[in-house]
Structure 1
Amino acid sequence: MITMKRINYKIGFVLLLGLCCRPVAAQQRVDVEKDLQYCHRQVARALAGLKKDGGWDYTRMPRNILAEDLKEGRTEWNCRPATPEEWCGGFWPGVLWYDYEYGGEAYIGRQARNYTASLAYLADRDPYDHDLGFLVHCSFGNGMRIAPCASYRDVIVGTANQLAKLFNPRIGTILSWPREVEKQGWPHNTIMDNMINLEMLFWASRNGGGQNLYDIAVRHAETTMNNHFRKDGSCYHVAVYDTVSGKLIKGVTHQGYSDRSMWARGQSWAIYGYTMVYRETRDPRFLAFAQKVTDVYLKRLPERSDDWVPLWDFDDPSPSAPKDASAACVVASALLELSGYVDVEKGRQYREAAENMLSSLSRNYQSGERCVSFLLHSTGHHPAGSEIDASIIYADYYYYEALLRLRRLQQGRPVLGIG
């Protein structure tokens, strides 16, 4: 009996130790309808604030509301022109499309179309950089899904062909920042964010753009998978390649804490990107890799915490390091999709993690009456001191997307809103 008790105590200690070494998995409730109604109200507030002198300037897109804005009583979006240099230009039209999808109001639909139309010129312009997917697929792509028309298809296919011009077949990836080739001394740079732009290539390939766009997307995903990650599944922000040999030179950061750290939003792009690539290819290599890059992210969230929003970089040692709500939004949306591709138990874990993230965001990060955004406490470019502890439009975009995905799952509908 004494031996058996000692064994039981030992087993109990090991089990307890195991629980203490990973985040609590207890599911937190998400009131999806309440949160979607909140987003709907905030969109109406934002539109009212964007109306100047009796009308709207559809060529200026919401970008951020900074911490100093709130301190000084400014509650409206800071806007930037819808130029190729403004990589976030497609997120506000995307938010409007999501709001139209949710509420079905004709007024919101008109605003979505008007803001979307200001980006149509990108289909006929040589690419400034890789962000064409963010600009066009978040706007025209959602428009095509919700209110399809031939002109939207033409813009998406045309823009995909522009993006394909940045592909280097010797290396196997799309060049991210042409302007950094000379500035940083990076002969061919590819950033993790570029994974998200592949979705536009896949869509365009299926809708008249041809096999070449599909092949470029797959090759980019393969090359990135082979070169852009450490053994544990964490990613570099930037992979630098030699243009002669096509070989990887080094992995570095641009927006993370260090070359060896795990920048939260960069990892979120990897999770979202490889989930999407598996959806488009059904290649089991990409499904396995999506799980690998997800599991390291979940493992490194704070132990036994009810806040599922990460620090801006998992390796920032500062006790005052800011959070990044945008990373949690991207991951939550991705996990709701990924949960349907894996086995039942893993799928349950991923969905619970996604709901915990959304619960944390809804309980602790909503801006409420303080400003017109959905969320506070995102981090843009920390090393540059830019958009720290701010409301940023892409956080709102992926938050709305994740809530709509969860609502569809709760209703027994396809997670992507297709079919």
Structure 2
Amino acid sequence: MKKTTKALLFSGLLALGFTPPQKDTAFIDSNVAFARGQLKKLLTVANRQDTAFPRTVDKKGQLLSTDMYEWTSGFFPGALWYAYEATNDNELKAAAVKWTEKLSGLQYFTKHHDLGFMMYCSYGNAYRLTGNEQYKNILVQSAKSLATRFNPKTGSIRSWNLFGSWDGQGRYVYPVIIDNMMNLELLFFASKTTGDDTYRNIAIKHAENVLKNQVRPDYSCYHVVCYDTATGKVLSRETAQGYANNSTWARGQAWGIYGFTMTYRETKDKRFLETAQKMADFYLDNKALPSDKVAYWDFNANDVGYEPSRKSHAKETPVKYRDASAAAVTASALLELSSFLGENGRKYRDGGIAILHALSSPAYKAAAGENADFILKHSVGSIPHDVEIDVPLIYADYYYLEALNRYRALSGASN
């Protein structure tokens, strides 16, 4: 089934005028094999914890896990599914099933917007690769739960319930973060599966308001937009994890590229394709982007005209931390984006491949058995929070594996 699906994708891309890159089978295979080995070692440690989901490392470099209610819980089972898809290793499949099904209770979870990350990265891949009807039903219920966070007045899905602003003077009011674009895929899935357009309409309305209120004229983006629930008007444009309210947080830009690319895939609305393309241009053409295309954590850290969002950091904020997670998300997004643009997609395809090669170098890819068995090094969670700075992160590994699988499909290589 997997090979048939990939063959159809490949032939469809050719029909659209897409010219595949030269097969890079050895590169893909060697990095998939490495990821498979790391995941199996990580799985051994994770199985001892049973209900704790791998996320990062502690200050001693040891595995740090979370309960299932953290936004990152779906990435570990999702990574196992991607590794299984790439290798046909049934041991990985069994582990993916086990760790996915630990999350079944989340289908009724309504406390924050990250249900798409938690359930679509796990159950979405599980259903795609197994066709298990139970998984489909769980995904639909998850979409129902996520939809409860939509407010027709704001036209947006609320991200956090309560979150303190950095100056200590108040609280974010109905915050919507750029990350939320990633959760819309779950809603699109539910409408396709059930025939009920309610979910799809919510997703489109949310994306339209992100485009209107969160994407800047230069196609960078704000991290947080706060809305007045009585009028639907924008109250403020801020950041939580970036350097300054008016700066461009690298992973936020990556979420935007990926989210609008996915939204175009599901709607074929060219507004979203244009937005994804121009957000990708901002990333790839940015003067602050290093030559290997692995971005620093914020494109504007310490630049003139950007006031730090957290006063204690001021000029002490380190600039030179790369964010491999932002790069991995971007690589995966660029590879999909390129497939919608025919020959005009070459820039994005080449950019995604270049990022993948950089991430696969010793500068970012761990040595076997090191890095607490995560695949990639040098990611950043949140410098303003003083957490997860220059560490491995499970979602960096997830999107790295997704990018490898997408590269294989685009190049016509077989596994």
Same-fold call, TM cutoff 0.5? yes
Sort the Cα spacing of 1:108 and 1:264 in 2 relative to 1 into closer, same or farther, 3 A: same
Change (3 A) 1:181 1:217: farther
Q: Of 120, 123, 133, which aligns to 1:137?
A: 120
How far did residue 202 of structure 1 move? 0.1
Q: Please list the CA deviations of residues 236-273 of structure 1 after superposition, one character each: whole Å capped at 9, or x if unmatched.
A: 10001111110111210011000010000000000000
Partner of 1:45: 41
Q: Secondary structure at the match of 1:384?
A: coil
Whole-Å separation in 2 of the counterparts to 1:243 and 1:201: 22
Paired letter, 1:316:
A
2:129 pairs, out of 123, 146, 149, with 146
Q: Is the 8 A contact 2:72 2:394 kept in 1?
A: yes
- Report if aligned partners of 1:181, 1:187 keep a CA contact under 8 Å in 2: no
Q: List per-residue Cα deviations over 1:2-51 (Å, max 9, x = no partner).
A: xxxxxxxxxxxxxxxxxxxxxxxxx9x88111111111111111112223
| 1:321 alignment counterpart | 320
Correspondence 1:354 to 2:352: yes
Shift of 1:181: 8.3
Deviant stretches of 4+, over 4 Å: 181-184
Quote the Cα distance in structure 1 between the aligned partners of 2:54 and 2:177.
24
What is the Cα-based RMSD across aligned positions, in Å?
A: 2.0
Equivalent residues of 1:88, 1:134 under 8 A apart: yes
C-alpha separation in 2, matches of 1:246 and 1:320: 36
CA distance in 2, matches of 1:194, 1:400: 21
Identity in percent: 41
SS at match of 2:253: helix
Q: Which of 263, 268, 292 is residue 307 of structure 1 equivalent to?
A: 292
CA contact (8 A) 2:284 2:293 kept: no
- CA distance in 2: counterparts of 1:89 and 1:210, whole angstroms: 28
Query: What residue identity is the alignment partner of 1:368?
Result: A
Matched, 1:91 2:75: yes
1:69 is aligned to 60
CA separation in 2, counterparts of 1:252 and 1:209? 37
CA deviations over 1:154-206 (Å, ceiling 9, x no partner): 11000100000000101110000012389943331100000000000000111
Cα distance in 1 between the residues matched to 2:42 and 2:191: 35
Q: Using the alignment, how far apart are the partners of 1:202 and 1:340 within structure 2?
A: 20
* Alpha-carbon displacement from aligned partner over 1:369-412 (angstroms, at most 9, x marks no partner): 32200000000011010000000000000000000100111117
Measured against aligned partners, the alpha-carbon deviations of 1:58-93 in whole angstroms (never above 9, x if no partner) come to: x21000024x334xxx4xx3111112xx11000000
1:174 equivalent in structure 2: 157
State the distance in 1 between where 2:174 and 2:115 align. 18
Distance 1:145 1:232, change over 3 A: same
Deviations 1:203-255 (A, max 9, x none): 01111161100000000000110000211011010001111110111210011
Question: Contact 1:181–1:188 at 8 Å: present in 2 too?
Answer: no
**Residue deviations 1:339-362 (CA, integer Å, cap 9, x gap):** 011141x31111100011011111
SS at match of 2:37: helix
1:276 corresponds to? 262
Q: Which residue of 2 aligns with 1:336?
A: 335
The residue type paired with residue 187 of structure 2 is: L
Q: Distance in 2 between matches of 1:136 and 1:256?
A: 26
Superposition deviation, residue 301 in structure 1: 5.2
**Equivalences for residues 13-412 of structure 1 within 5 A:** 31-52=27-48, 57=50, 59-66=51-58, 68-70=59-61, 74=62, 77-83=63-69, 86-125=70-109, 127-180=110-163, 184-208=170-194, 210-300=196-286, 302=288, 305-317=290-302, 320-344=319-343, 346-363=344-361, 364-369=363-368, 370-371=370-371, 372-411=373-412
Tell me which residue corresponds to 1:8.
none
SS of 1:380's partner is strand
Alpha-carbon separation, structure 2, partners of 1:388 and 1:319: 10
Structure 2: state its 5+ residue gaps.
Answer: 1-21, 303-316
1:104 shift after superposition: 1.4
Task: Measure the CA separation in 2 of the matches of 1:99 and 1:359.
Answer: 18
Match of 2:6 in 1: none
Instruction: Give the alignment's TM-score, normalised by structure 2.
Output: 0.86
Q: CA deviation at 1:320?
A: 4.8
2:195 and 2:77 map into 1 onto residues whose CA distance is 23
The question of whether the paired residues in 2 share the 8 Å contact of 1:270 and 1:293 is answered with yes
